[in-house]
Copies of this chain bind each other. A is one copy, B any other.
Amino acid sequence: MVENKKTKKKKKMAIAVMSGDLDKLFGAFIIATSAAASNMDVTMFFTFWGLRAIKKDKRTGKSFMGKMMGFLESGGIDKASPSKYSMGGLGRWMFKRMMKAKKVASLPELRQMALDLGVKFYGCQMSMDVMEIPRESLMDETHECVGGGFFVEKALEADVQFFI
């Protein structure tokens, strides 16, 4: 096992979340909460479609294309569709029901758990600019909006990194 020089230092994890799919977000938050629960420092960097995970349910966009993007990507984490069998929303409904039947935590619950455990959420400023998603449309709990360089720095400091 890779050991830190100062053994008392907390282990760190850095996750870049580019996907906004229900299953991928599920994986990301399960990994993040598991790591935080075992006392790791966890950084989540949300970019492109992944921004859905920390967005309020609020329409975004200023320009014509920004509004179109805001329409296509409308809704918050609750509107994430699975990467397969999206089927116009049917897949989402089905997955949610199956998860509920097995008493698995929902995405909003997992996200809250992550926050409660001290996981830090960062928004990717560049994709926010491109997709015309203003800071106010992200959850108030979002720690900061930063550039890709910030994530690379966190990734380099981390003991474990993922791109999801």
Contacts and interface: CB of A to CB of B under 8 A. Distances in A.
A18 B11 contact: no
Given A49-B84, A65-B98, A126-B30, A156 B1 contact: yes
Contacts of A66: 98
A162 B160 contact: no
A20 B23 CA distance: 12
A144 to B, nearest CB: 17
A27 B48 contact: yes
B2 A4 contact: yes
Interface string A1-34: 1111100000110001010100110110011001
13 contacts: A1-B4, A3-B5, A23-B49, A30-B148, A38-B153, A49-B83, A68-B94, A72-B85, A98-B132, A158-B160, A160-B161, A162-B163, A163-B164
Interface of A: 1-5, 11-12, 16, 18, 20, 23-24, 26-27, 30-31, 34-35, 37-38, 40, 47-49, 63, 65-66, 68-69, 72, 83-85, 94-95, 97-99, 101-102, 104, 126, 129-132, 147-149, 151-153, 155-164
10 tightest CB-CB pairs across the interface, nearest first? A30-B148, A34-B149, A34-B152, A162-B163, A102-B129, A1-B157, A34-B148, A155-B160, A23-B48, A35-B152
